[in-house]
Every structure is written in C-alpha cells, then in structure tokens.
Structure 1
Amino acid sequence: MRQADCYQLGEVIKTHGLNGEVGISLDVDFPDEYQNLESVFLEQQGKLVPFFIETIQVNGNRALVKFEDINSLEDAKPLIKSDIYLPLTFLPKLEDGQYYFHELVGCDVFEKEDRLGVIREIIDLNGNQLISLDAAGKEILIPLKDEILSVVDIPNKKVSVVLPEGLLDIYND
C-alpha cells in the first residue's frame, strides 16, 4: 500500500498496560465510525505495514487498541509515534459540495481572475488549518476557512478565494 493511496487516521501516542495495548489519537471528524476496524497500516521506517486489530475501544478522539502479535510492553513501545493510515476507499462518501482536505492538494488557487498558485499541502496547527500555496516557488499560507474559500471545484482542481485585505502584502517583501 502506498501512502498516496491512504489518509492518516491518527497516531499511536502511548502504551497501555503490560499486554501490548496502545493508546491512539484519532484525527477524524467522526471517530465512532472506526469502532469496528479490523486492520490499519502503521508507518514503520518510511513504509506502511499492515497491523491486524484484536480489540478496539473508541472513546471520543482516542482509542485503546490491541494489535495481533503485540503481546507485551516491549512489543508495543516501538509503535509509539507511528502514524496510522487507512486506504482512501474507507472514507465515507460526501454530499455534493463537500470535500476532504486532502482533495485540495494539487488544486490551482485563484483570486478573482488571478492565479495565485497551487496547493501543496494542508497544515494543521493545533486545530487551525492552513493551505500551503506554492506561488512561483514562494510559500503562501492561507487560513482554511469557509469565508475565504468561496468556490471549491474538486473535479476541475480549482479553488477560488476571497483573501483578507493585506494577506498577500505580507509575502511581497
């Protein structure tokens, strides 16, 4: 499985007990939808490795997980800080006009008729999402807010924005 074919579900944040259980942080809108997972991919040394789940208990945006063949504290410790992934096919279908943040990557961004650049990534800073825009080799950060993204056209890879006055001036030194 390639990382490009997946989305990040969360991260292993700690061990729990002596029998190989781990605590994970879920970075999704509806954590309860993941209560019946059978397997996930953990990033190990730059590769996605499948791990099968014996038990999972979701509580808010945290979960307690017991993976098959991870039976001790020593087995579980190397998993800490591992990112957890699922295939994109696991994402729930959205209604028209809705989109996932990863779908914005690669979209051209326009303000009125002016092309500003292309979205390279979405950055999450403690719940504040930013668009990282490549504008002719220069990075511009734009808050990912509904009032700024006026039109999002995923099929045509085009996003129209209404930027706060002076935002681009910060980058024009």
Structure 2
Amino acid sequence: MRKEECYELGYVSKTHALDGEIAVILDVDYPEDYIDLESVFIEMKGDLVPYFVETSFFNNDKFILKLEDIDTVEDAAKLKSKILFLPLSVLPKLENDQFYFHEVIGYSVTDDAYGELGDVSDVYKPSSQAIMTLYHQGKEVMIPMTEEIIQTVNHEEKKMQVKLPEGLIELYLES
C-alpha cells in the first residue's frame, strides 16, 4: 500500500498495560467509527507496514489497540510516535458540502469580493483549526477552513466558494 492511497488515522502516543497494547490519538471527527478496525498500516522507515488488530476499545478519551505480534510493552514502545494509516477506500461517505481535506486539494477557490483566488495547493491542521493554502498573484495565501468562510463546495466541478474576512488577502499581497 502506498502512502498516497491512505489517510492518517492518528499516532501512537504511548504504551498501555503490559501485553503490547498501544494508546492512539485519533485525528478524526468521529472516533467511534473506528472501533471495529480489522487492520492498520504503520509507517516504519518510510514504508507502510500492515498490522492486524486483535482488539480495540476506548479507555476514557484514549483509543486502545492490541495489534497482532505486538505482545510486550517493549514491542509496543517501538511504535511510540508512529503514524497510523488506513486506505482511502475505507473513509466513511460524507454528505452535501462536507469533505475530507485531501479531497479539496486542486479545487478552484472563488471569493465573493475578489473573484477567482487560485487552486488549493495543500491543507494543514497545525492545531484545532485547519488551514488551506493557495497561490494568488504569486503569493502563498493561507485561509482558515471555517463554516463562516467556506460557503459552498461543488465536488462535481471541483470548486469552492468562500467569503473571506475583510483584509485577509491584502495581508499576503503586501508582503
């Protein structure tokens, strides 16, 4: 499986118990959708390695996985900070204007006041607020991905209509 065919599910934060369980911080909107995982991919030295899931459960706000062939706390410790991936094909289907970040890369972005701004070149989620980047008049522009800013998303035409806060574009064009 290639990384381009997958999405990040989360990362291993620490070991859990003594039998090789790992605590995973999920980077998804609906963690409960992932309770019945059969397998995951873990990035090891640049490659995605498949692991079968023996058990999974929630312990308070942590998602706990027991992976096949990871049977000791020492085995589990080797996975600390590793990123878990799942194939794009298992993403739950979304409705209407909802989208996954990877889906809108390449979409054309148009603003009510400024007209066509450019195509989404990347999406970052450095904290709780996701940000899309695009190039407008040769300058990189970062746009917060909020419900107030994103007005509509047309998946068929690969277009996104936004309403930017006053002065946002000028901040980037002046520098």
User: What is the TM-score normalised by the length of structure 2?
Assistant: 0.90
The one-letter code sitting in structure 1 at the alignment partner of 2:157 is N
> What amino acid maps onto 1:159 in structure 2?
M
Distance 2:22 2:87 in 1: 21
2:30 maps to which residue?
Answer: 30
Corresponding position of 1:97: 97
1:122 touches 1:129 (CA, 8 Å); kept in 2?
yes
Q: Which residue of 2 aligns with 1:151?
A: 152
1:130 is the counterpart of 2:96: no
- Using the alignment, how far apart are the partners of 1:49 and 1:138 within structure 2? 38
- After superposition, the Cα gap between the structure-2 partners of 1:121 and 1:33, relative to the gap in structure 1 and judged at 3 Å, is same
Contact 1:31 / 1:60 at 8 angstroms: preserved in 2?
no
Q: Count residues with an aligned counterpart.
A: 173
Output the aligned Cα RMSD: 1.7
What SS does the aligned partner of 2:130 have?
Answer: strand
CA distance 1:138–1:46, change in 2 (3 Å): farther
For structure 1, the 5+ residue unaligned runs are none
CA 1:6–1:137: 2 relative to 1, 3 Å: farther
Helix, strand or coil at the partner of 2:78: helix
List structure 1 runs of 4+ shifted beyond 6 angstroms.
Answer: none
Match of 2:44 in 1: 44
| Cα distance in 1, alignment partners of residues 136 and 61 from structure 2 | 35
TM (normalized to structure 1)?
0.91
Q: Which amino acid aligns with 1:161?
A: V
Q: Which structure 2 residues correspond to residues 56-135 of structure 1 after superposition, within 5 A?
A: 56-59=56-59, 62-112=62-112, 114-135=115-136
Unaligned runs of at least 5 residues, structure 2? none
Q: 1:137 to 1:15 in 2, by over 3 A?
A: farther
CA contact (8 A) 1:28 1:61 kept: no
**Conservation of the 8 A alpha-carbon contact between 2:97 and 2:152:** no
Q: 1:61 to 1:30 in 2, by over 3 A?
A: farther
Q: State the distance in 2 between where 1:91 and 1:165 align.
A: 35
